[in-house]
Chain A
C-alpha cells in the first residue's frame, strides 16, 4: 500500500522513489535534558530530483540528513521511524527496499551504502578535507573503498572527476593540499569526491553557506549540471530560500524538528500555507515591492529543552487558534500536487 507521503509533486503514478522517510525521530540525550532535534518527519525523494530542506539553525535539517546516512552519533540517537532505501540493481530491473535504520550504523552493509550509494558534502569545504592529506589521497581512498580499482586507476578516475567539477589543471590539483585551494575549489573537490562512486543520493548540507555569492552561484550551476549527467538525487539543506528557488523541485520547511510544510517549489513561493513559511517568505527583501521595513518574525526560537506543547510554532504564530497550544500532534493536511502542511488552520475546513 502506498503512503500519501510518497506522492511527488506531479500527478504521475509514483514508482520512482529513491528514499522514503517515515516518522523519523532523532533525539539527543544531554545532561540538560532531551532535545528532540527531529521529531516526526516524513517525506520521500524521487530519483534524479532535488529536495530543498529549509529552516533556521537548529531546526533539525542537518540531523535529518545524518539520520538518513545512519551516522547520528552519541549523545544523539534515532529513536523511531524508518528510512526506506529503494535500492536498484545495475540495470534497473529489480528493486529491494532496505530500512537503513535497521542496519548496524558502522557495519559493513551500512558503510557500503554510505559513501558508495549515498554521499554527503558539508558546510565548510576546507575543514571537511583533512589538512594533512592531499586531495588525491582522500579521493583515491573514497574510490577504492567502494570500487575495485588499483591505486593508479583510482587516481585516473579522481583526476577525471576533478575535471568534471571544472577544477583547472586537475593533474596538478590532485596533489594539492586543502589549504592551497580556495573555499570554492575545496567544495568542488568535495563534490568530485562525493560523486566519484556515482551515488544515487547526494546530501548537501549547506554546501555554499561559507562561500561568497559568486562562488555559490557557480557551485549551484555545477551541481545542476552534474545532476543532469549523473542522475543523482539531491537533498539540499539550506537556510537560504533564494538558493532553494534556484535548485530545488520540492521543498520541505522544517521548524523545531517538525516538517511543517512540504510542496513543489512553485507552491512554496506562490501559495505558502503554513504561517511559518509565510513569515519566512515575507522576511526576504524583494526588489519588486517597495517596503520601508523588512518584515520580521515575532518572538524568538523556543528553548530546545522546553518546546511549547502542541504546535511548536504557536507562541510566535500570528494566526494561532486555541487548539494550537493543546498537547496533540498537529495532523497533516494534504492539498493537490503533493502539497501538505501541518497546521490546525486547515483542519477546520
Chain B
C-alpha cells in the first residue's frame, strides 16, 4: 500500500509539469496580451500613449522576454506562492483568489455533502425496490434533475425562495455583513445564504448519483455472494448493506476525488446568476479580459486539484477495494 501511494505521488510530478506548460501555452495562444488590450482601451478613450511608454510597461511586466523565460519566471514564482499581478484588477492574484477559494469550497462542499446524503439512500431504495412506485417516482425526478440546466433551476428557485420563503435572492452575505469582519452573526448569515446555492448546485449531481447508485446496487444485488449471505441466515437489511452496498459504493467513493476541482470552479453559471462571490465568475472574467496571470493561476490550481483528486481517488479505491490494492502482487 505504501509503495502504491509513493509511486502514484511520484507519477504526479511530471504530469503537473506537463500541465503547467500547457496552461502557460493556452494563456499565450490568443493573439495579443492583456497589455495590448489595455493600451488599445486607453487609446480609444483618447489617451496618448507613446511607444516608449508601452515598451516600459512591457519591460515592467516582463512581456518582452522570450516565452521560456516568462514561463520559468511564472512557474518558479507560482510554486513559491507568488502568482503574479492581475492586470485587470491591479491586485496580486493571491489576494484576489484567497477568500473566493474558501467560499467556493464551502458552498461546493455543502452541495457535495447534500448530494451524497440525499442520493445514496434514494439510489439504494430505488435499487432494492426496483420498479416500485417509489423507484419510478425517483427515476422521473432524477431525469428531470439531470436534464434541467442548473442556471434555470437557480432562477426559478431564487424567485420562489425569495417570494414565498423569504430566502435571500443572491450573494452569500447580507449587505450589513458584506465587508464586516468574521463573527458568529456573519457565519450564520453565510449559512442562511448558502442553502439555496448548495441545493441548486447539488441538484444535477444528486440526480446523477441516484442513477449511479441505483445501477451499481442493482448489478451487485444479483451477485451470488448476496444469495450466499442470505443462505447464511443474515437479515435482509444486513445482507444488503454489508455486502452489495459496500461494493456498490466503490464507484462513488472513487469519484469523490474528482470533485476537488469542481469544488473550486463548479457551477460558474449558477454563481453568476446568484451573484456568489466565488471563483467561477472570477475565472470567467479573467479569461475574457486575457488577464494572463490570474487565468494561468486558476488553470494551474484547478489542474493541480484534478491531479490531486485523481490521486486521492486512487488511494481511496485501493483502500476500500482489496482487488485493486493487491492487483500488482498477483
Contact = CB atoms under 8 A, between A and B. Distances in A.
Nearest to A203: B231
Interface string B295-325: 0000000000000000000000000111100
Contacts of B225: 127-131
A237 to B, nearest CB: 14
Contact of B228 (A113, A128, A134, A179): A128
A24 B5 CA distance: 56
A161 to B, nearest CB: 14
A325 interface: no
B328 interface: no
Nearest to A69: B231
A54 B116 CA distance: 48
Interface residues of A, number: 32
B243 interface: yes
A122 B227 contact: yes
Interface string B216-242: 000000011101111111111000000
Contacts of B229: 130
Contacts of B320: 132
Interface of A: 69, 71, 106, 111-116, 119-120, 122-124, 127-134, 138, 141-142, 145-146, 177, 179-180, 190, 193
Contacts of A130: 225, 229, 243, 246-247
Contact of A132 (B227, B231, B236, B247): B247
Contacts, number: 78
Nearest to A74: B130
In this complex, the member of A124, A129, A132 whose beta carbon has the largest number of chain B beta carbons within 10 angstroms is A132
Interface string B187-227: 00000000000000000000000000000000000011101
Contacts of A131: 225, 247, 321-323
B326 interface: yes
A127 B232 CA distance: 15
Interface residues of B, number: 23
B330 interface: yes
Contact of A141 (B232, B246, B322): B232
Given A111-B234, A114-B233, A127 B223 contact: yes
A177 B232 contact: no
A111 B233 contact: yes
A132 B232 contact: no
Contacts of B322: 131-132, 134, 177, 179
A318 to B, nearest CB: 38
Given A130-B247, A132-B321, A177-B322, A124 B224 contact: yes
B322 to A, nearest CB: 4
Given A115-B234, A122-B228, A131-B247, 17 more contacts: A69-B231, A71-B230, A106-B236, A113-B233, A115-B231, A115-B232, A116-B233, A119-B232, A127-B225, A128-B227, A130-B246, A132-B247, A132-B250, A132-B320, A177-B323, A180-B330, A193-B232
Contacts of B326: 177, 179-180
A123 B230 contact: no
A71 B231 CA distance: 8
B317 to A, nearest CB: 11
A11 to B, nearest CB: 35
Contact of A145 (B223, B232, B243, B323): B232
A53 B246 CA distance: 35
